[in-house]
């Protein structure tokens, strides 16, 4: 029994030092600088994306990107019950980035969606939607940074 535990312990020690790193690693030493020129659309969603991009604002970097941001959050009903009460809906979030750099003018659009069950408590419903919007902003931020790092 003791030998089995020792082998298991050694396995976990070796596994923890295997050199794994996440694909969407938030590397603060990246070589990009972002200047957000203009934001339009859903103000709350813009602020969430803006806060995620702040780490790239005042950096000294080789690549500088000037970005105009346009966002949209939409809530669409999927199903209702016999009384007309909403049961399910879909929350759609999209962000369009117009990027300009030294020799690049590009437009990138990222979309996120999630089906949500309606909750009777409106406070809890709003709180859950805020968490979903924050997750959308994080996902969109990571996708944008990944694309910007690939631009030469």
| CATH number assigned to the domain comprising residue 138 | 3.30.160.150
Q: Which domain holds residue 52?
A: 29-72+94-110+119-150
Strands in 41-117 per DSSP E:
63-80, 86-100, 105-117
Is 130 among the domain residues?
Answer: yes
Residue with tokens 């408590």: 121
* Backbone angles phi and psi of 72, in degrees to 5: -155, 130
Work out how many domains the chain is built from and give that number: 1
Claim: this prediction has a pTM higher than 0.85: no
Please list the pLDDT of the chain residue by residue as tens digits (152 residues): 677 777 877 777 766 666 555 554 555 556 788 889 999 999 999 999 999 999 888 777 778 899 999 999 999 999 999 998 989 999 999 999 999 988 889 999 999 999 999 988 989 999 999 999 999 999 999 999 999 888 86
Q: How distant, in Å, are the alpha carbons of 4, 17, 39, 129 from that of 8?
A: 6, 15, 53, 42
Is 39 among the domain residues?
Answer: yes
Is 87 among the domain residues?
Answer: no
């Amino acid at each position: 029994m003791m030998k089995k535990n020792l082998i298991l312990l050694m396995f976990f020690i070796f596994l923890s030092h295997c050199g794994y790193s996440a694909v969407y690693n938030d590397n603060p030493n990246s070589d990009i600088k972002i200047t957000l020129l203009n934001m339009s659309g859903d103000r709350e969603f813009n602020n969430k994306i803006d806060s995620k991009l702040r780490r790239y604002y005042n950096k000294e970097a080789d690549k500088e990107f000037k970005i105009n941001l346009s966002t949209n959050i939409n809530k669409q009903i999927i199903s209702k019950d016999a009384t007309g009460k909403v049961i399910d809906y879909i929350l759609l979030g999209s962000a369009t980035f117009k990027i300009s750099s030294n020799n690049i003018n590009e437009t990138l659009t990222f979309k996120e969606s999630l089906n949500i069950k309606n909750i009777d408590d409106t406070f809890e419903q709003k709180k859950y939607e805020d968490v979903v919007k924050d997750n959308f902003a994080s996902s969109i931020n990571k996708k944008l940074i990944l694309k910007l790092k690939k631009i030469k």
